[in-house]
Amino acid sequence: MTFLQKLRFDYWDSDRMIASAIKSWRPDDCSNEWDYELSLYNFLHERFSEIQVTKQFANGRVRADLVVEDRILIELKNHLDETAKFHRLIGQLESYRSWDGYVFVVLCGRTDRNLFKELKRHMKRLNGEFGIKERNRLFEK
């Protein structure tokens, strides 16, 4: 990471930099959520060597798979294909309302299209109708 990239991350554009990295991430040989989490964790460390990435972050009621520099919380879900998994994720998103930073949800594996559409609607509600900068973002891998 160059000096200018670090400045960009620290003072201006951390959410877009991490979002772009997640979009370019290509997980290989992952069979469960833990594999995806480790793959993304390693990828972010390689891409942003000077930025702190924490696995299995916990702070009060907030528990997340990854946190980047105490700014971006990342929740990974493998195979969002059952209503029970969807409701658990919605509960997690509700608990993340107390988080001051960004919340990124990364869906891996099979995703039921109806659950995906409902999750997008829910995240739009969390962002607010006129949110200029999306605090909550959804990625599909």
Question: For 42-55, how does the pLDDT look when each residue is reduced to its tens digit (9 = 90+)?
Answer: 999 999 988 999 99
State how far the Cα of 54 lies from the Cα of 49, in Å rounded to an integer: 13
pLDDT band at 69 (very low <50, low <70, confident <90, very high): very high
Question: For 102-134, how does the pLDDT look when each residue is reduced to its tens digit (9 = 90+)?
Answer: 999 999 999 999 999 999 999 999 998 666 568
Q: What is the pLDDT of residue 18?
A: 96
pLDDT band at 26 (very low <50, low <70, confident <90, very high): very high
Whether 35 shows a pLDDT value over 70: the answer reads: yes
Q: What is the pLDDT of residue 91?
A: 94
Pair of tokens at residue 21 = 């990295």
* C-alpha distances out from residue 107 to 4, 60, 137, Å: 31, 24, 11
Contact 53, 67 (CB under 8 A): yes
Query: Which domains does the chain carry?
Result: 3-7+17-22+31-140 (3.40.1350)
Contact 89, 80 (CB under 8 A): yes
State how far the Cα of 84 lies from the Cα of 87, in Å rounded to an integer: 5
Q: What is the pLDDT of residue 5?
A: 74
Per-residue pLDDT averaged across 52-80, rounded? 89
Whether 4 shows a pLDDT value over 90: the answer reads: no
Contact 141, 78 (CB under 8 A): no
- Tokens 């972050």, residue located: 57
